[in-house]
Amino acid sequence: MSNTLVVIGHGMVGHRLVEEVRERDHAGHWRIVVLGEEPSPAYDRVGLSAYLKGTTAEELSLTGAEVRADPRVSLRTGVGAARVNPDEATVLTTEGETLHYDALVLATGSRPFVPPVRGSDLPGCHVYRTLEDLDGIRAAAEPGTNGVVVGGGLLGLEAADALRGLGMHAHVVEVAPRLMPVQVDEGGGAVLARLVEELGLRVHTGTAVENVRQDEHGAVSGVSLTDGTAIDTGTLVFSAGIRPRDELAGPAGIEVGERGGFLVDPSCRTSEAGIWAVGECAAVQGRCHGLVAPGYQMAAVVAEQLTGGGGAEFEGADSATKLKLVGVDVASFGDAHGTSEGALEVTYANNAAGTYAKLVLDDDASTLLGGVLVGDASTYTTLRPLVGRPLPAAPEELLFPGSSSGGVGAGTLPGEATVCSCHNVSKNDITAAISAGSVEDVAGLKACTKAGTGCGSCVPMLKTLLDEAGVVTSNALCEHFPQSRSELFEIVRATGIGSFSELISRYGTGRGCDICKPAVASVLAGLGGSHILEEEQATLQDTNDRFLANMQRNGTYSVVPRVPGGEITPQKLIVLGEVAEEFGLYTKITGGQRVDMFGARVEQLPEIWRRLVEAGFESGHAYGKALRTVKSCVGTDWCRFGVQDSVSMAIRLELRYRGLRAPHKIKAGVSGCARECAEARSKDFGVIATERGWNLYVGGNGGFSPRHAELLASDLDDEELVRILDRFLMFYVRTAERLQRTAGWIESFEHGLDHVREVVVRDSLGIAADLEEAMSRHISDYTDEWAAVLRDPDKLSRFVSFVNAPQAPDPTIEFTEQRGQIRPAPVMLPVPTTERPGLVSEEVSV
């Protein structure tokens, strides 16, 4: 018979505890009841700010289907704990239900600290803690007005950036003399403040809110600071720290720490038998920890004890943090402030470049104690695991790995060094997984060890460890070209080579294959603007591109004309019906807002195209690695919820990018409001209307690995949207590898979407004008591939089943009928019988 484990709190740490117990409890010893006060199950609170940038609550959710479907777990959202009675081992819920427990874990987390300021409870005052808090901030935000954030720490800067993203002029008020006083020192704080202000935030340090002013309706109208500054605002956000949620302690007789929190020993046990505490509410030997990594460690400690592991103990917290706050890299680790006795400091500040770095060493400069990095935190993944260990090189070499011959890499780290503090994964754990041959890339390491699946700051180190272990994935396109597709693209662009034969003779070997020929053909078509069936080009294409149609399983082809934005006139619909009826084609309306027609024989294709081209249709490129469709809702034309003309924008984008040859197919969508009827965020690029313009999302797809697109830029006007899309698509065409969708392409960069944003939005590489010009050439060179075939007798001659009988149909093609339309006839195969040797049974359908 199973025992009952009650978990009070379903935040990140409470959820991790449930996962840890489920993973260890193979015998089904525990039935778990989870009480979560919030209406949503556990979500990624570290990534909370993404919610205001378009990430949905579902995407932030940590609770997968396997937990919801587990009969051992009863998850109750919107239900909290009113009282704990240790004597009777019961919990009274906020709904009045009494739950018995055999073990109880308190994971109540923390609450935002609101300074005791007059007026802090007025309408217009907010905290920054939950999804509901952010919904309130979003609803209250007025673009173009001031927004004030009280608190210049981690969450305070995130909140200020969120207000900026909502179109407000954000002010940050911090009582300490610098931003992020817990993580960075005076020098780092000064550089951080300058970088933050350059991005549009106004910083007020060394001052505090004295009072909150109110208007005639009793709502916030402004704040007065202790230094005499007055700021008019209707939106005030308190993000000045947190306090542990320990209100259940008093009535239950549970001891608390001197500064709050359920007092626990290293095993996370409270003063009451059978009750543990984990996460921000737990004061381990009197100290609370406000980061998620220590909470995850506590969850593992308690789960180990509950499932028979015995004396597991919390070994201390790694307080290291690495964040990109408002676009600025900030990291600190170890003794960042040099409080250790005899500590020495090595600092470097480059105000011109906006970078600051400090290392804290012991009194004989032989051991690394900690450090601070602002503006450039690229060395963080190497430095953090070295804390408390002898220096492997001179301090300046640690800060600037390329400054001398020695170099500092992953190989200098001892095996027991922690690489991933979120999941307590050591270098030994990672190298063991690599040595076992079970992983070949970072994704494999993540799946095998969980490293890199938390905050993600250790991902660069995972790549380095793979490289140093000799796990190298070749970028060669195939055995005939040692170069990657992107490298060949640049070679063709730089040299002006116009044929496959010239390219392989100069840069490859052999005669080519079915991998490199279509890939090079795509590059040549994209750069040269020639028809893909022009001379040698035609011999390079795969079957679909060779006949400008998709081959189906019975040897026939589909014809898919373009219908920009899904908008079509009744007359064109009639033509589609007439053509389908005349040629006996199967018709289907697709999810891409087009009509597919199946069952055309190869010799019928030109005549079908002729009828369609005469009616104003053109190729929809359903056969090519190119732009397919730009799906659209009806937008402001018809929908009462629409805020922008999504149909016009979808048509504009589809006509602009039609025929764009790429490493893989490209699908897109434009939604006229946040209700997302065009499913834009499941596309390679998706555009969603806002009241201030358009939000652009990139990197989604619905293929083998479905994923939502992420926000690239927000509140763009029409011309800004088109300009950034031009750059994004051309950057993808130039640099992605063969058959690499936009999602995988973005993930292939070390900093993922941040890198893409720097290049295509902020023009960090100085190539924006070149990318825009390349797109302009594509647009001016575009011709319909079907129409071009119809004008050229040589190209038309290719569309036959038999060279010696051009008009003869393929006799092997057969159809059957179902629901009033044709289908490929079942393939009949002889099946041997076991009744009498040598005889064959009747044919059966397969």
Report the binding-site residues. 633, 639, 673, 677
User: What are the φ/ψ torsions at residue 356 (nearest 5 degrees)?
Assistant: -145, 140
Would you call 837 helix, strand, or coil by DSSP? Answer: coil
> Strand 73-77 and strand 81-85: pairing?
unpaired
Closest CA to 424 of 311, 303, 314: 314
Q: How far apart are CA 608 and CA 810, in angstroms?
A: 17
Give, in degrees to the nearest 5, the angle at Cα 816 between 811 and 822.
100
Question: CA 802 → CA 544, 549, 798, distances in Å?
Answer: 18, 18, 10
CA nearest to 678, candidates 565, 588, 589: 565
Specify which residues 106 forms β-bridges with: 8, 277
Phi, psi (degrees; rounded to nearest 5) at 556: -90, 180
Cβ neighbours around 19 below 10 Å, total: 20
Cα separation, 706 vs 58, whole angstroms: 14
CA distance 213 to 229: 13
- Taking the alpha carbons at both ends of the chain, their separation in whole angstroms is 49
Helix axis angle for 485-495 and 516-528, nearest 10°, is 40
- DSSP helix/strand/coil, 231: strand
Q: State which amino acid sits at residue 769.
A: A
Tokens of 754: 């941040």
CA distance 712 to 317: 35
Q: From CA 427, how far away is CA 445, in angstroms rounded?
A: 12
The HSE-up count of residue 216 (CA atoms within 13 Å, CB side) is 0
* DSSP helix/strand/coil, 310: coil
At 647 the three-state DSSP class reads helix
Tally of helices (H runs) and strands (E runs) in the chain:
28, 41
Neighbours of 719 (CB within 10 A): 8
Q: Any idea what DSSP says for residue 228? A: S
Residues that constitute the known binding site for siroheme:
677
Residue 227 backbone dihedrals phi, psi, to 5 degrees: -90, 10
User: What is the phi/psi pair of residue 284, to 5°?
Assistant: -75, 115
**Cβ-based burial of 665 (10 A; exposed 0-12, middle 13-18, buried ≥19):** buried
SS (H, E, C) 410-446: HHHCCCCCEEECCCCEEHHHHHHHHHCCCCCCHHHHH
Distances from the Cα of 168 to the Cα of 93, 156, 204, 233, 644, angstroms: 41, 15, 17, 10, 22
Residue-wise burial string across 339-360, b where 16 or more C-beta atoms lie within 10 A, e elsewhere: ebeeeebbeebeeeebbbbbbb
- The residues, any chain, with a CB within 8 Å of residue 261's CB and separated by 6 or more, are 244, 246, 277, 280, 281, 282, 283, 288
Please give the annotated binding residues for [4Fe-4S] cluster, written as ranges: 633, 639, 673, 677
Phi then psi dihedrals of residue 126, to 5 deg: -135, 160
SS3 content of the chain, % helix, strand, coil (to 5): 35, 25, 45
Q: Which two tokens stand for residue 54?
A: 């378009």
- Contact between 553 and 824 under an 8 Å Cβ cutoff? The reply is yes
Contact of 845 with 828, CB cutoff 8 Å: yes
